[in-house]
A and B are shown apart, each in its own frame.
Chain A
């Protein structure tokens, strides 16, 4: 049996935006992203500032909290996913949140988030999501009621990382069927 080296990503040129009203949380997530190899991380403390950051700098990947003042992460995502009104509607969005209830996952999915991640944040879980976004991006779907990443996770992605269950990954398709 030939064992091939896990894919290593050089993230030096990938830009990120971290949006969270808690400065300690922003510090934590920024620390993780920088240690993964990225060099450019924008920060915002609420959804309104987050929208400005995304529109001004066009970050490659956004990591956002849900519960925030002014505009929360869910509303921000909906505003981003406006192909006729927002500059970068296809921006990959990772929602990193303390919410873990099934109904919250469905809400986030229907708002158009790309990946959902529960706090407490783990380096492995965040890296896995980033890797998936870069190497296996989902196509987008546009319908009368939805614009965003395809909400069904393709079978070929299902065993990307055999330890996903340990990282509190919520299979969007599975949870949708249970919904």
Chain B
């Protein structure tokens, strides 16, 4: 099936839904199958006793990345390594029971991908983020509104935004990765 559009031409391809033939469907109502969701959430709950260990592993990688930054300096490679470690905690922290770790690493990721050139990223601010995540984990700050943890996370984000705001516009807005920006 094809269509012609005024501004140019494009083709709409309507495929037969072969996947649906592999799936037995019962019921026709809207909404989700709550039984399936409940099974999934129960399965996650069974894994939860491993979550602290998993986050500990991720924080170990973050500390390693920080050590590399201190040893080799702030460059595209060390920033990329730090970004990956921080991005993983940002993505997993809340699932593993530490949403404050997600918040702090979201702030760190923003710092790492917003500053151009990477040499301008202040090392103390990286250290403060890493130290904060380590403290959240060590002190078992699982509540998202933990008074100390939440205050630290908020303050770190404020500092990052203030720092970024004081910089000239960077290519980060175009979505470049830290190493691509450093290489350009």
Which residues of A are at the interface with B, using a C-beta cutoff of 8 A? 3-11, 13-14, 22, 24-25, 27-28, 31-32, 34-37, 60-61, 65, 67, 69, 90, 92, 97-98, 103-104, 107, 119-121, 123-124, 126-128, 131, 133-135, 137, 139-144, 146, 150, 159-162
Q: How far is the CA of A3 from the CA of B28 in the complex (A)?
A: 10
**B175, A143: Cβ atoms closer than 8 Å:** no
B183 interface contact, C-beta 8 A:
no
B-side contacts of A6, CB under 8 Å: 27, 29-34
Instruction: With CB as the reference atom, state the residue of chain A lying closest to B46.
Output: A31
B94 interface contact, C-beta 8 A:
yes
A59 to chain B, nearest CB (A): 11
- 8 closest A-B pairs by beta carbon, nearest first, are A98-B91, A4-B29, A123-B40, A119-B91, A5-B27, A143-B10, A10-B24, A120-B94
A-side contacts of B40, CB under 8 Å: 31-32, 35-36, 123, 126-127
Instruction: With CB as the reference atom, state the residue of chain B lying closest to A126.
Output: B40
Q: Which of B1-17 contact A (CB under 8 A)?
A: 8-15, 17
**A9, B23: Cβ atoms closer than 8 Å:** yes
Q: How far is the CA of A13 from the CA of B22 in the complex (A)?
A: 6
**B25, A9: Cβ atoms closer than 8 Å:** yes
Select which of B12, B33, B94 is within 8 A of A8 by beta carbon. B33
**A161, B91: Cβ atoms closer than 8 Å:** no
**A35, B43: Cβ atoms closer than 8 Å:** yes
B-side contacts of A11, CB under 8 Å: 23
Q: How far is the CA of A60 from the CA of B44 in the complex (A)?
A: 24
Q: How far is the CA of A103 from the CA of B13 in the complex (A)?
A: 27
Known: A104-B175, A137-B19. A127 touches B37 (CB 8 A): yes
Select which of B19, B28, B35, B90 is within 8 A of A98 by beta carbon. B90
B-side contacts of A146, CB under 8 Å: 10
B-side contacts of A22, CB under 8 Å: 88, 92
Identify 18 residue pairs between A and B in the complex whose beta-carbon atoms are under 8 Å apart, listed by A's number.
A6-B27, A7-B30, A31-B43, A31-B44, A32-B40, A35-B39, A35-B42, A36-B39, A65-B91, A67-B83, A103-B174, A120-B93, A123-B41, A135-B25, A141-B10, A142-B11, A142-B13, A143-B8
A-side contacts of B102, CB under 8 Å: 120
